[in-house]
Amino acid sequence: MENVGKIIFSTGVVLIIVGLVVWQFADKLGWFGNLPGDIKIERPGFSLYVPITTMLLISLGLSFVMWLVNRFTR
């Protein structure tokens, strides 16, 4: 239970680093969020955006990272 603080702090640092990297290379990541399978509906006074493919890629990436962390912490 005493490691919870360290885990939260480490997660925060990693999120800040990832955010800075994404912010720095945002112009090169223009394709992200505009993938085939992302639903965009635009009408006068209404717009809907459901990034299904983008959410699947993020989920796969995070699942792989969590698998790696779990594998190396045993």
The 10s digit of each residue's pLDDT in 4-58 is 888 888 889 988 998 898 888 878 877 777 889 899 999 999 999 999 998 999 8
Q: Is 1 helix (H, G, I), strand (E, B) or coil?
A: coil
Domain range list for the chain: 1-30, 33-74
> How many residues does the structure list for the chain?
74
How many alpha carbons lie under 13 Å from residue 18 in its C-beta half-sphere?
A: 7
Q: What is the pLDDT of residue 72?
A: 83
Phi and psi at residue 4, to the nearest 5°: -60, -40
Q: How confident is the model at residue 1 (pLDDT cuts 50, 70, 90)?
A: low
Which one-letter amino acid corresponds to residue 53?
T
Nearest to 37 by CA among 20, 21, 52, 22: 52
Q: Kindly report whether the global pTM for this prediction surpasses the value 0.75.
A: no
